[in-house]
Structure 1
Amino acid sequence: MKEQGLRQPTSLQRTGAGSITSQVHNLLMERILSMELKPFDEVSEARLASELGVSRTPVREALARLSRLNLVDVYPQRGTFIAPISIQRVAKARFIRESLERPLSRLAAEKITPDMVQSLAREIALQKTFASLDDHASFLKSDDTFHVLIARAAGMHDIWDDLGEIRIHMDRIRRLSLLGKARMNAITAEHEGIFEAIRDGSPGRAEDCTRQHLLSVFTDLDAIRAEHPEYFHDSLASARA
């Protein structure tokens, strides 16, 4: 079983034990979401502490946080492993996302302001640029921002923060997709359709465009799962339980 640490020395800002723990947590979270740390990889607490130049305590606390998010499996006397992607958790995230985003786009079309129109238009322009540059990572971040802006336009500013844990499990599978320019352009076109409906104050059309977009997104997720079955597990419990 492959044991993983951090590939490059990382400098942490030493502003208190809690802050160090948060920094270690964030570093590991990003490595898990980016698939640098893959499902079933073993993570060494001692090695991480050595590479980061910290004691084992903040590393242990960071891994405990990740365990509570179901991203890490900790087995006493056996080791710590990156958790497989749970199909059930992804399905739950899909259900919640569809349940939220369709009414959010309708509300956004009803409440849209000129400032928010500008913000959404700016994000569409950024997505076109990232697609032309074949910048997959920046495109995914802009994709997230676009949907956050729709929630804000609907008057639900903090709704994505409230669903952070749910979104994490969908983000893991999204990061597996290596979107080419054609797919990024297609997603941007779908976003543009949603934007235009919201901008025009057309709630029904905005909801319908969102429904079509989510069908496309979920088809992508199913294709990713089929391409990387080794990273998934069918039940909520880890395959190592």
Structure 2
Amino acid sequence: MKLTDFEIQSIDKILNATCIPQEGSLVDHIYSVLRENIINLSLLPDMPLVEKEIAAIFQISKTPVREALIRLANDRLVTIIPKSGSYVTSISLESYLEACFIRGSLESACAKRLAEKGISLAEQVKLNSIIAEYSQTPPKTITDDDKAVFCPFAQLDELFHQTLFEYLWYFRCMVIT
């Protein structure tokens, strides 16, 4: 069994299908596209992010790309090294384990609070529908070009956890008012 199933691709193959929307800031769009591809590991840690290359892919100037990279650096997803370039930030094992601990603590506390207060029938139905879809979605999907895509599975997982926190937030707002 393989531990990883990653195929290293050039950035133009990763970003080539993305189009620029007519609405919204160009910087926001470039930021969102790069962020999503970093988070889902399409852009691997330590991968160089060349402004000129990214600008050519989107057929835009380098300025919005540079601004998006600066925002990603502020989020600690990109490391900018002066006179060297920009790179996807390496994943720190210590930071990863800390994030897992924090997320686990928050989620278990959230589940405990929701179990204590109970959730409505509508909330139960929504959670059950997410779980049903989640259980029928493979962890990865293989596309026509043999590329593994993790998005549907990860999006459903994120939706489930986000929904739990929304229910808890709604409950807290109801108690406060």
- TM-score norm. by structure 1 comes to 0.57
Contact 1:111 1:154 in 2 (8 A): no
Contact 1:130 1:138 in 2 (8 A): yes
Q: Which residue of 1 aligns with 2:159?
A: 145
Q: Any idea what the Cα deviations from partners look like across 1:82-126, whole Å, max 9, x if unmatched? A: 111012221221221122111210111223111101111111110
Runs of 4+ in 1 over 6 A off after TM superposition: none
RMSD of the alignment, in Å? 2.3
Q: Any idea what the Cα deviations from partners look like across 1:195-222, whole Å, max 9, x if unmatched? A: xxxxxxxxxxxxxxxxxxxxxxxxxxxx
Aligned residue identity for 2:126: S
Q: Which runs of 5+ in 1 are unaligned?
A: 158-241
Q: How do residues 108-123 of structure 1 correspond to structure 2 at under 5 angstroms?
A: 108-109=114-115, 110-123=117-130
The alpha-carbon distance between structure 1 residues 92 and 117, as it changes in their structure 2 partners (threshold 3 A), is: same
- Whether 1:63 and 2:77 are equivalent positions in the alignment is no
Q: Which runs of 5+ in 2 are unaligned?
A: 1-7, 142-149, 172-177
Contact 1:111 1:153 in 2 (8 A): no
Q: Any idea what the Cα deviations from partners look like across 1:31-64, whole Å, max 9, x if unmatched? A: 2122221111111101111221111111001000
Deviation at 1:152, TM superposition (A): 2.3
Q: Which residue of 1 aligns with 2:19?
A: 11
Q: Which residue of 1 aligns with 2:131?
A: 124
SS in 2 for 1:43: coil
Q: Please identify which structure carries the higher helix content.
A: 1
Q: Which residue of 2 aligns with 1:85?
A: 91
Report how many aligned residue pairs link the two structures: 153
Tell me: higher relative CO, structure 1 or 2? Use CA pairs within 8 A at least 6 residues apart.
1
Q: Any idea what the Cα deviations from partners look like across 1:215-239, whole Å, max 9, x if unmatched? A: xxxxxxxxxxxxxxxxxxxxxxxxx
Deviation at 1:69, TM superposition (A): 1.2
Q: Which residue of 2 aligns with 1:99?
A: 105
Aligned residue identity for 1:50: A
Q: How do residues 163-182 of structure 1 correspond to structure 2 at under 5 angstroms?
A: none
